[in-house]
Amino acid sequence: MLFRMYQYRGTPFYMSPESVQFAEITPALDIWSLGCIVVEMITGRIAWGNLDSKELFNKLVSGNESPEIPEYISESGKDFLRRCFELDHRYRWNADALLTHPFVDDDAPLQPVEICQPPALMCFANSALCGNY
């Protein structure tokens, strides 16, 4: 009997559904990861919230869920993230298309931003604890 070993590669909270389903791996998985990073930059929290690794893998393997898009961002921001989180990687926008999206296009008018406090502050008593940051 022949067994094939599979190995996950990547950081779980930034992995796309196809990367855990052993489907075709394309540059589209990087676009999914970009969406996760954008959500984290906007909210200060990882895109999948408080899921543990097992819950996350179950959602990714199911292939029918994507991270929650924050309600309070602009419509162009929501659309940008929907393009990043397209469940079928064949229809996910590529980097060239995303660079022309109004959410990141340099010619798009800027909207006023409300200044707010960060959700968490890190304080280290010892600089050696900062090695991973």
Q: Within a domain: residue 5?
A: no
Q: Within a domain: residue 7?
A: no
Tracing tokens 């930059």 back to the chain, one arrives at: 41
Q: Within a domain: residue 52?
A: yes
Q: Within a domain: residue 80?
A: yes
Q: For position 98, which CATH number holds?
A: 1.10.510.10
Closest CA to 13 of 42, 43, 41, 51: 51
Task: State the burial class of residue 9 (Cβ atoms within 10 Å of its Cβ: 0-12, 13-18, 19+).
Answer: exposed
Q: Within a domain: residue 6?
A: no
Host domain of residue 85: 12-130
What pLDDT sits at residue 116? 73
pTM over 0.95: no
Q: Within a domain: residue 18?
A: yes
- Asked if residues 111 and 76 have their Cβ atoms less than 8 Å apart, the reply is no
Q: Within a domain: residue 72?
A: yes
pLDDT digits (tens, 9 = 90+) for 13-31: 999 998 888 777 889 999 9
Q: Within a domain: residue 1?
A: no
Least confident window among 23-32, 35-44, 99-108, 115-124:
115-124
- Count: domains in the chain: 1
pLDDT digits (tens, 9 = 90+) for 37-95: 999 999 999 999 888 888 988 888 888 899 999 999 999 999 999 999 999 999 999 99
